[in-house]
Amino acid sequence: MSESTNRATETDPYTLTADGIKEPPTGWRDSMRYFGPGLILSASIVGSGELIATTALGAQAGFVLLWLVIVSTLVKVAVQIELARWTIATGQPALTGYAKVPPLIFGIGWVNLLWAVLALSKLLQLGGIIGGTAIAFSVLLPIGGDPLAFTSLLVWTSILAIGSIALLYSNRYTLIERGAALLVVTFTAITVVIALGLPATPWAYGFDDLGSGLVFLVPAGTLGAALAMFGITGVGADEITFYTYWCVEKGYARWVGPNDGSDEWVRRANGWIRVMYKDAMLSWVIYTFGTLAFYLMGAAVLNPQGLVPSGNGMITTLSRLYTDVLGEWANVLFLLGAIAVLGSTMWAAIPSWSRMYTNLLATFGVLDWQDPVARLRWIRVFTVALPLLWAVIYLTIQSPVIMVQIAGVMTGIFLIGVVWAVYWLRRNETDPRLHGGRAFAVCLAVSSVAIALLGVYSLADVVGIV
């Protein structure tokens, strides 16, 4: 067997054994050594939603929807944490849990069937991501003359797809985590600094602008973009789902050990759940500041000029966020940053979706999820297939903004299934001794109601009822 296959069989994080038990740390300082899943989550979030959907909404609506940015990043966190709590207690990833939620349709959980529909729409989003990254590379280093011509885009899209496969084929958790952290820090820091510095430029915003954005209004003509942004920014249905895989592969569930019903197990489980809380909150801080920064830049710089990112010209329009503030020299800085932020989504999405597709096949009986060799083999199949498929879809459609927004609306609809599944698993499979306190229960209820209303409205909007 290969070295990577040997690694898969030696210490399988999805198999809970007594010899994998580890005492949880206490306090933030000691817990920080065990952060990681949230960084991968942030790498996925600080990407298409922020750079494309959020900035486009700011350019379209101005400051008036600033409140939605804050709500969309905050309201879903409790659901994310609750699903991860179940995962840490059981050692099982999300789609394994979704498969159990009744009613079953031809023996298949309805939430997993809905997830399959989401996955089809996400092909558009991830095609938009690889396309946006290819455009940034092409504008920076055009091949064959016109950077937006098909030849240059084809070459760069192919390079990105093949390069991503080569880098991520091993599917090593530590590599994925470290790469995600580097990419997130690079662009988020730059963008936040520029957004905070806008008041000192010709594109200044003031307290009146910020105040107008905190009134709960949705201007006419922005509802579709607002729904897409709500669904895709912060933790969406897909991020809530794949966060569970990274919690397992980091080791949280394995360190808790199998549930023997003892008080010691409860103590360890609550300890590692508290570490997960901190990991989730750190990622929330990262992607919330990133989201606010992108929205403010779109509202302050692009909106007054009537510029809304669209088509293959998306990157050149978005570059105005930097060049109009710092000068033409900043175009290269923006392009490098765009490559980092969109590349971070690809970096997190490829291994995350590969795991989810593999897990879905396992629920269909195609493979045994608990067999680490078979699981890794299938994950690698999708690691190769997905970037190639995304590349073909982008080259066929070539409209990254629309591709991302369609997936955002579908994400909002799928959140209904996620909320239902989270409550079913909490009630039927999570040890009651691990449930959060009353304050968390209230947060979970508020989060669930907000998400459910979004999903119902998104569905009604799609079928033309509203």
Res 23: pLDDT: 96
Band the pLDDT of 6: cuts 50, 70, 90.
very low
User: Which pLDDT belongs to residue 459?
Assistant: 64
In this model, does residue 85 exceed pLDDT 70?
A: yes
Q: Mean pLDDT of all residues in the chain?
A: 83
Higher pLDDT residue, 182 or 25?
A: 25
- Which of 78, 451, 89, 119 has its CA nearest to residue 280? 78
In the chain the first and final C-alpha atoms are separated, in Å, by 57
Does the pLDDT value for residue 26 go beyond 70?
A: yes
pLDDT band per the 50, 70, 90 thresholds, residue 323: low
Domains of the chain: 37-463 (1.20.1740.10)
pLDDT value of residue 368: 96
Tell me the per-residue pLDDT of 91-125, one tens digit each, with 9 for 90 and over. Answer: 999 999 999 999 988 888 999 998 988 888 888 77
Give the model's pLDDT for residue 437.
Answer: 87
- Check residue 9 and give its pLDDT: 45
- Say which residues have a Cβ less than 8 Å from residue 166's Cβ, sequence separation at least 6: none
pLDDT band of 8, cuts 50, 70, 90 = very low
Q: What is the dihedral of CA 16, 20, 26, 29, to 10 degrees?
A: -110
pLDDT at 367 over 80: yes
Helix, strand, coil proportions of the chain in percent (round to 5)? 80, 0, 20
Tell me what pLDDT residue 55 has.
Answer: 78
The more confident residue out of 119 and 274 is 274
Model-level pTM?
Answer: 0.86
Please enumerate in sequence order all residues whose Cβ is within 8 A of that of 296, keeping only pairs 6 or more positions apart, or say none.
Answer: 58, 63, 66, 195, 198, 205
Q: What does the pLDDT read at residue 400? A: 61
| pLDDT > 70? residue 158 | yes
- Determine the pLDDT at residue 2: 47
CA–CA separation, 238 and 418 (whole Å): 9
Q: What Å distances lie between residue 390 and 91, 160, 361, 383, 407, CA to CA?
A: 31, 11, 20, 11, 13
Supply the pLDDT for residue 314: 56
Min mean pLDDT across 316-320, 349-353, 361-365 is at 316-320
The token pair that represents 212 in the structure block: 């107008």
pLDDT of 71 reads 80
**Mean pLDDT value across residues 398-408:** 64
pLDDT tens digits for range 210-226: 888 777 777 666 666 66
Residue 342 or 17, more confident: 17
Closest Cα to residue 400, out of 342, 341, 344? 342
The amino acid occupying position 162 is I
Burial class (CB in 10 A: 0-12, 13-18, 19+), 189: middle
